[in-house]
Amino acid sequence: MGLFSKVPCAICGNNVGFLSRKRLVNKEGYICKECEKKCSEFINVGHFTKVEIEEHIKYMEKQNKLYYEAFEPIDKRHISRFVSISTGLEFADEIAMFKVVSPKANKKVYQELFRYDQINHYEPYYKENNGSNSDKKYSEVGLTIYLNCSRRGFGEAEGSVTGVGARNFHPYVKELQIPTARNVNEFSHVGLKDYLDKLFGKYEDNSVIGSIKSSFVGTNKERAEMKAAAEGLKALGNLAKSKITKSEEDAEKSRESAETFKNDALDLATGNRATYTKIANEVEDRIWNK
């Protein structure tokens, strides 16, 4: 079989030429351009087997449904959008999920969402300017968002994989690189990092008004701690009351506030991720199980 002869795509069976196909892992044949358009822009199809690609396309079909039924109908005023140099993120707090905006995404068949609780951490990245066209220090800066991911890396040893099936682990993507500026001397994030800091409870208002406010009511972290402590006291109070009154209603109240306490305490420890998990699970269950 010559280099330029047509071969069938392992996924759809159409015969494809040399320029419109990519080789799958383990010499399992080829995937055509059209089938690759059904895959996420964040995976390398050359690292997947035929069965894995088929699973991945099913995953993308579900993501597409999630996007059109849960994200798209949201009032645009409730979406926080940070897009520069045609790439960025759109956050939908009410479903605790975000979308990556990019020129590549427009060429894909399916839309996909990421969950807030899949974000492990994030940090700025810098690409040194090696060309002579610019006197600026960096040719590109941006933010790398590291996700909890349950997939092994390409070429990594077989073995147990953490987080399989856990919905706060992304099944495919380990990191997202989001460029925010080109030809600059310093990191510039157009509010994106501030927004993430706010989501995960790291944000402190550095303005004069902010510092006056926090001198009265404490920092965000202190407020969160006070709220968790107050809920804990309420849970204990209701529990004591239910013991005295032997009332079902009081017992129920104490269970409820104990739940709230547990959630607030978890949020404090996990940067609000406990709440984001709850919200995103409810949304996915609603869309996929109907």
Residue among 175, 179, 3 nearest 103 (CA)? 179
Of 32 and 145, which CB lies nearer to Zn ion in the complex structure? 32
What are the C-alpha distances in Å from 28 to residues 6, 8, 37, 131, 255? Answer: 16, 11, 19, 40, 54
Q: In the bound complex, what is the minimum distance in angstroms from residue 21's beta carbon to Zn ion?
A: 8
Stretch that binds Zn ion, among 1-9, 52-60, 190-198, 252-260 (CB under 5 A): 1-9
| Among 6, 12, 104, 164, interactor with Zn ion by CB under 5 A | 12
Regarding 11 and contact with Zn ion (CB under 5 A), the answer is yes
Q: In the bound complex, what is the minimum distance in angstroms from residue 33's beta carbon to Zn ion?
A: 8
Regarding 53 and contact with Zn ion (CB under 5 A), the answer is no
Helices (H), 100-181: none
**String of contacts with Zn ion for each residue 15-44, x by CB under 5 A:** -----------------x--x---------
Of 35 and 235, which CB lies nearer to Zn ion in the complex structure? 35
Pair 235, 257: CB distance under 8 Å = yes
Residue 199: helix, strand or coil by DSSP? helix
What distance in Å separates the CA atoms of residue 81 and residue 99, rounded to the nearest whole number? 9
Of 53 and 280, which CB lies nearer to Zn ion in the complex structure? 53
What are the C-alpha distances in Å from 175 to residues 33, 178, 203, 230, 289? Answer: 24, 10, 22, 37, 29
Q: Which residues bind Zn ion (CB under 5 A)?
A: 9, 11-12, 32, 35
